[in-house]
Structure 1
């Protein structure tokens, strides 16, 4: 189906862990697929729950992306300039201390506080007791605490504004609970074959391949049908 320029797909937004990467690593074939898409004129946007320093240490190829949405939507990273833009205030030191005093292992980013299941019940209780406006987001066993209203969709919208793109011009691909928000706003959405059933049920395309090979499959689809929003 032919579409006008405003709705033609012009960018790929992809999750990292469980989608682009398998066990934290991105294979050469996946990198080559991303490069093909980039050479075809598509913008590349990474959308991940990871913190920047952690990701750069295992994925220096982040520089091939035009923008990276980090910490589940709370931080923007400009790979070509190294600029970091926090979209929210940093986490409260009192809140972090309360979690640690309760014996909860945490990882603290510029905006995100992360832990693991089954600590979510204690986290929610502490949020309630302290009267904080925070939300808990799940990601296949990971528990992410962020300000209300911050998710991958909010981060992607901020990134798209800077790139001069609209959500309907983006193809998105993911695998887990926290990907649902950004996939829902994309003009075209896909899930890799290893994605959770709840994600597969909500997208236009479920790839036959898993992880990075699934992303390559989507890339092939986009390159074969560049004028469509719903191949």
Structure 2
């Protein structure tokens, strides 16, 4: 496989507890230096990503709000890829005590078990919205908007084919994202269902798993690691 880009989720994939380690960031820099593209695909809102990861400029494109926002860090350009929600819908969630309630430009976020109230309000307002889970988080998005559609918008913007993209993630909202890419990877700490979707599961969790994939890309072909023994692969991860 000729890898032209790496598309990665943020929380519990690239980052652990919201932070990207120095070794993981160094691996991103090495991949960037190899003339490959880097794409961040996250459920977080863009201002939040800028706050927790000040080096967002290392990415060629950022997909935020689970596919609803496309951002070019080099120019600062932002493109809304999804319709906005009616203010009355948000007001109704507040009135029913949904807490926390994170309101983005197109995505609304909360936590389990608030999805039952959210679903009830979607029906009451007659809206074409979907509930997407991300482990304990609940996201509300316009129907058909997800990380896969956001990835395709980013690739179209970069004029890149999807066949050369390695996508890596950990949770429920990464299924279509991994399936749509040329090669889908689940980190070791991913949900069992995502591991079944993926073409490959890393030996290491989160950021170390991303570094594992980057090392293999830089060695020649990310898919060659599938034929290696676990002992050899584990040794390579430990060596960094």
| Shared fold, TM over 0.5 | yes
Q: Who is 2:37 aligned against?
A: 43
CA distance in 1, matches of 2:224, 2:123: 42
Gaps of 5+ in 2: 227-240
User: Is residue 2:50 matched to residue 1:64?
Assistant: no
Gapped runs of 5+ residues in structure 1?
A: none
Q: Given the alignment, which residue of 119, 124, 134 partners 1:124?
A: 119
Match of 1:26 in 2: 20
1:203 CA drift (Å): 1.0
Show the counterpart of 1:15. 9
Counterpart residue number, 1:150:
145
Deviation of 1:58 after TM superposition, in Å, equals: 1.1
Deviation by residue 1:145-171 (Cα, 9 ceiling, x = unmatched): 000000000000000001111211100
The CA distance in 1 between the partners of 2:215 and 2:223, in whole Å, is: 13
Deviation (angstroms), 1:9: 1.6
Residue 76 of structure 1 is matched in structure 2 by 70
The aligned counterpart of 1:217 is: 212
1:193: how far off?
0.5
Please give the root-mean-square deviation of Cα atoms over the aligned residues, in Å: 1.4
Q: TM-score, normalised by structure 1?
A: 0.94
How many residue pairs get matched?
Answer: 225
SS of 1:209's equivalent in the other structure is: coil
Q: Distance in 1 between the 2:224 and 2:83 partners?
A: 36
**Where does structure 1 differ by over 2 angstroms across 4 or more consecutive aligned residues?**
225-231
1:201–1:228 distance in 2 versus 1, CA, 3 Å: closer
Q: Which residue of 1 aligns with 2:165?
A: 170
Structure 1 residue 140 displacement after superposition: 0.8
- Output the CA distance in 2 between the equivalents of 1:224 and 1:200: 24
Retained in 1: the 8 A contact 2:216–2:225? no
